[in-house]
Structure 1
Amino acid sequence: MKVGVVGLQGDVSEHIEATKMAIEKLELPGEVIWLKRPEQLKGVDAVIIPGGESTTISRLMQRTGLFEPIKKMVEDGLPVMGTCAGLIMLAKEVLGATPEQKFLEVLDVKVNRNAYGRQVDSFEAPVKLAFDDEPFIGVFIRAPRIVELLSEKVKPLAWLEDRVVGVEQENIIGLEFHPELTNDTRIHEYFLRKVI
């Protein structure tokens, strides 16, 4: 198994470490790479788009040539997980987007950028998962908010109280929060099971 973490901006190393830990816990052979160039996509079984700043990630994915190949691969079924800004990159519709932003538009959700406010408004809270009874500590940092599920293909995956904060659509997972900023690898493990 080969997992690529889009490594242009954001919390890349944290996702790499969390994914490595998840691979170990699942006792799978595999590697995790820092994905910076399109040629690195060869042989990749899954991609993670980390949190960071969505305008920067969008611009750099286009500039490096990663944007179109990743979009096509995801449309063809490649498992992808986007967290925070990664969720924004995956979303079909984005409220508060800047004119120069371009999104992959592969996940049938409408999101609101920076819906939780400024950095100082960041918080941690227990999140309920669809696949596990034990709460997960969600780290929300200037997070986007999922404001609407746009098709029946999208299934809730995580809730903060009664509000959906994570979704799944076939090969795609989108999360408002940062699972990589905890020592809990359950979400990464769940994602990796899409590959095996």
Structure 2
Amino acid sequence: MASPTVGVLALQGDVREHLAALSAAGVRAVPVRREAELAAVDGLVLPGGESTTMSTLLGVFELLEPLRARLAEGLPAYGSCAGMILLASEVLDGRPDQQQLGGLDVVVRRNAFGRQVDSFETDLEVTGVEGGPVRAVFIRAPWVEKVGAEVEVLGSVPHVEQAGESAGRAVAVRQGTVLATAFHPELTGDGRVHKLFADIVREG
């Protein structure tokens, strides 16, 4: 069976790192900047970056409506940090002109971690990821304030001293074939979250 093709939205953010992590997970990884490229993939990663900029660029590159349509059809998707914000149905502390893709029935708070510390790292247990905790790197990251009935929380910030008000907040969620993390697994060299997503794409 041929390997599935997984795109990485290549408008802004840490695209190269996701492409490398997906290739290591055994799928064909390609950058996506055009509608024709989006139409040819079996799954899509929305990388970390700046969510308002990415939202604007989706409009500029005429990808907003095609991407919403593919998500509505069941396209497997994975969003990290800014990607989680874009996939959410509602964002708190976003800009009024920010566009949402609505792939996840969650409410997220943008830059939630940025208020206390610009960056925070911790070990995190993530459901579906075998082999012990994931080293989670949060960089001006969102967290999930509210989840819909069909959303499974895969991981929450542990109650450690440096977590502050983020302790207990949901930072990894899944709804069907859509996965999102508030942290950046592509920056740590731990490919297990990308392997989880590659498996979701294969099953899909």
TM-score (norm 2): 0.89
Query: Where does the alignment leave 5 or more consecutive residues of structure 1 unmatched?
Result: 24-29
Taking the TM superposition and a 5 Å limit, the aligned residue runs for 1:121-160 are 121-131=118-128, 132=130, 134-149=132-147, 151-160=148-157
Matched with 2:25 is: 22
Mind listing any 5+ residue stretches in structure 2 that lack a counterpart?
159-167
Shift of the 33–118 alpha-carbon distance from structure 1 to 2, 3 Å rule, reads farther
Cα distance in 1 between the residues matched to 2:116 and 2:47? 17
Q: What displacement does 1:145 show?
A: 1.2
Query: Secondary structure of 1:117's partner?
Result: helix
RMSD over aligned CA atoms reads: 1.4
Query: Partner of 2:162 in structure 1?
Result: none
The aligned amino acid for 1:68 is: E
Of Structure 1 and Structure 2, the greater strand share is in 1
1:188 counterpart SS class: helix
Secondary structure (helix, strand or coil) at the match of 1:82 reads strand
Match of 2:6 in 1: 3
> What one-letter code is carried by the residue in structure 1 that aligns with 2:90?
E
* Matched-pair identity in %: 44
Q: Deviations over 1:40-95 (max 9, x none)?
A: 12320000000100010000011101111111111111100011000000001100
Alignment of 1:3-152 (within 5 A): 3-23=6-26, 30-117=27-114, 121-131=118-128, 132=130, 134-149=132-147, 151-152=148-149
Number of residue pairs the alignment of both structures matches = 189
- Counterpart of 1:191, as a letter, is F
Q: Classify the secondary structure of the residue corresponding to 2:200.
A: coil
Distance in 1 separating the partners of 2:76 and 2:82: 17
Preserved contact between residue 177 and residue 201 of structure 2 (Cα < 8 Å): no
CA–CA distance in structure 2, aligned partners of residues 194 and 89 of structure 1:
20
Q: Distance in 2 between matches of 1:192 and 1:113?
A: 26
> Which deviations, in whole Å up to 9, do the C-alpha atoms of 1:94-115 show, x marking residues without a partner?
0011111111022111011001
Counterpart of 1:180? 186
d(CA) in 2 for partners of 1:195, 1:118: 35
TM-score (norm 1): 0.92
